Chains A and B, each alone.
Chain A
Amino acid sequence: MTNTLHRYGDAESFRDDYIVFATPSSDRNDAGSVPKLKKFLEMALPFKPVNIGDPVHGGTLRPARNLHTISNWKRDMTPDFRAVIDGIDTPVSVVAIFDNQAAAEQFLKVAADADLGLSINMSASVEGARECCQFAGITRHSVGYSLGFEGSTEKLPDSQLLKLTTMCGHGMVSTSLAKKMIDWVKEGRRTPGQAVTYMARFCSCGVFNPARAQRILEEARNGRWNEQNQPPNDSAEAESHLTEIVQTSKS
């Protein structure tokens, strides 16, 4: 599962994105791990995660199977943390997402002290994770770097959309929906907070970060761009494309 690794953005854009997850390993420590997974998430709650989840049941915002028509006007958009914890019934990876380093590192310390025996990982900026480990007194065991996107990057949307859609690492949040939500926020049809809930419901494991998504939507609404609004690796391709156009026009 690389579903939290390849989020798009630079280290600065991950300032409000700290994912801590506990993973039981098949045939190694999965037996009897369900209560430990629940405890892991229970321990996270005091540090106010912005989302928690598991890949079987989803995150704190989930689709409803039987919406009443009235709900179109009075829809409950409250994240349900209790449902996630109560719903864990098999050994799976569980995640807690934090929007600030202080909360993430304090939780990490508590989780380490609890000595659950499960593998605990943090997905964040390289430096952010290192600092959290230092705070918690943890010696890192292994590290997995993201090298970003390569290949046919001309098929990717702009950076604002990529930041939103890659927050569901399984690719369940579509580019079209993210674009529609940016448009709706710009038009004033929905607030950034409301728009975020629509996208979060498509993330099937709860790793979508609503706080970061809301910030990105607010930046998009206000026309603020942290980075050049281009897909990754685009400068080299744009240059070669330009050369191609020039050559074509000359011929």
Chain B
Amino acid sequence: MKINPNKCVACGNCTYVCPMGAIYVDPAINRATINRDECVECYACYYGLSTEHLNPPLVRMIRKIFQMGRLRFDPEPDVCPTAAFEPEDLQWPRVVRRAFSDPRATHESTGVQGRGTEEVKTNDVTGRVQWGEVGFTIEFGRPGVGVWLRDIQKMTRALAKAGVAFEKKNPFTLLMSDVATGTLREDVLGEKVLSAIVEIKVKVEQTQPIIELVREVEKDIDTVVALGVGTRCDENGEERLVAPILESMGYKLERAKTNMGLGRITNYPENKGEEPSREILSEIR
């Protein structure tokens, strides 16, 4: 992202809206400036700010007069008065920042907006997490801290060493040069993103060891980590396997995402609109 210095009037509105705090008014040039190291290309400034198209010299003059008179003015806080933000044509590897930070950017690899996959949200039609299994989403960097990919590699390597399987369709897995060891491509390690989600699946009995491993590794990672734990309910809609493990580890389960089991497969190109094959159905169940 760039700020056009010919348009910027240094109103400062954008300095508040950057989730990474990467925008500041540079006193040397009196223009809003982006710290490129800290900017994660989330485009919150570009898409989130409303824009006017006022005349920059006129706005600067008015602001100067108000400042000289020590007059307080009260503009709308979510407006760039001169539409000064201009997206850049991002090249590899910097484009990785946007792919993981801007929720509007679609990962070409998965076709999914955002940083993860459909995980348990579509478990009723994908059967991704089966009875007796646990799907973990390990999210780094959110809210408002961000994460360097080299830091996440510490976690993926530790998880790989523990023998876990990474979700193949997860965008982060696709950044790995060696999935077996959890090693990322060398050229992306120096990139910072707003957040990234590592997805793994393990057996229920591995729940506690995996959480303990994550807790241990996160001590060596300079960001926040949010853990999500997904699993199947029983035939009565109850979940009595994983919750007791989590509660025994001291977690108070306040919030959850619940899949209602109302989805069904309706894409049947191969059998022209008839019911899915037994193989597909058994895969889901």
Interface residues of A (CB under 8 A from B): 1-7, 9-11, 14, 21, 23-32, 55-56, 63-69, 71-72, 75, 92-93, 108, 111-112, 115-126, 129-130, 133, 138-153, 155-157, 162, 165-166, 169-177, 180-181, 184, 189, 198, 201-202, 204-205
Contacts and interface: CB of A to CB of B under 8 A. Distances in A.
B233 A26 contact: no
Name the residue among A108, A129, A151, A189 with the largest chain B CB count within 10 angstroms: A151
Contacts of B17: 174, 176-177, 202
Nearest to A169: B142
A3 to B, nearest CB: 7
A144 B228 contact: yes
Q: Chain B: interface secondary structure?
A: loop
B161 interface: no
Interface string B83-118: 000000000000000000001100000111111111
Nearest to A176: B16
A244 to B, nearest CB: 15
Given A67-B50, A146-B256, A1 B267 contact: no
- List the 7 closest pairs (A to B, CB-CB), nearest first: A141-B261, A119-B263, A144-B230, A139-B237, A202-B48, A25-B122, A140-B237
Given A124-B255, A139-B237, A189-B74, 12 more contacts: A25-B122, A29-B263, A29-B267, A65-B50, A138-B237, A140-B258, A145-B246, A147-B211, A147-B227, A148-B226, A169-B142, A204-B104
Interface string B196-226: 0100000000000001001100110111111
B126 A147 contact: no
A88 B5 CA distance: 36
Contacts of B255: 5-7, 9, 11, 14, 123-126, 145-146
Nearest to B268: A31
A65 B53 CA distance: 9
Interface string B57-88: 00000000000000000111111000000000
